[in-house]
Amino acid sequence: MSAYAKLVRYTSVTLRDAQHLCWKSFKKINARISSENAGKATLSALVKDLLEETDRVTNCVRSLEGRSPNDESNMRETLAAELSNLLYSAFVLAENYRIELEETFLQSVNDRVISDVF
């Protein structure tokens, strides 16, 4: 594991920081792709990937239903990776469109808590 991966893995970040980090990563990947083969990852391609990831999350959850805890460790790892990919895509889209996802998320959670209480 690279030193960079260890830093990201063990450093706590806010949603805002994670959003910005994903955006920077996306831009860096785009720059490399553009220089290597004149291609470019587009936001619409990212949305397509997001939908595919959502389908894989659905399949993982369906697979985990009814399994014993001893049988589910590999599938849980797969689910964790797929959920992380969904977050990456959501963060990149939010940063591109200047959406403060952290604020929106916290408001959404607050709204759900309030609606459950009242």
Expressed as residue numbers, the domain containing 45 is: 16-104
Per-residue confidence (pLDDT) for residue 9, from 0 to 100 = 61
In a domain, 77, yes or no: yes
Looking at the structure of the chain, the number of domains it has is 1
What is the predicted pLDDT for the residue at 118? 64
| 45-52 LR contacts (CB < 8 Å, sep 24+) | 46/89, 46/92, 46/93, 47/89, 47/93, 49/85, 49/89, 50/86, 50/89, 50/90, 50/93
| 6, part of any domain | no
The answer to whether residue 95 is domain-embedded is yes
Let me know if residue 44 belongs to a domain. yes
In a domain, 29, yes or no: yes
Does residue 116 sit within a domain? no
Q: Is 80 part of a structural domain of the chain? A: yes
Burial of 21 (0-12, 13-18, 19+ CB in 10 A): middle
* CATH at residue 88: 1.10.287
115 within some domain: no
Residue 22 has a pLDDT of 92
- Residues near 39 by Cβ (< 8 Å), separated by ≥ 6? 33
Per-residue pLDDT of the chain (118 residues; tens, 9 = 90+): 455 555 556 678 899 999 999 999 998 888 877 666 555 568 888 899 999 999 999 999 988 887 766 667 788 899 999 999 999 999 999 999 999 999 999 999 999 888 877 6
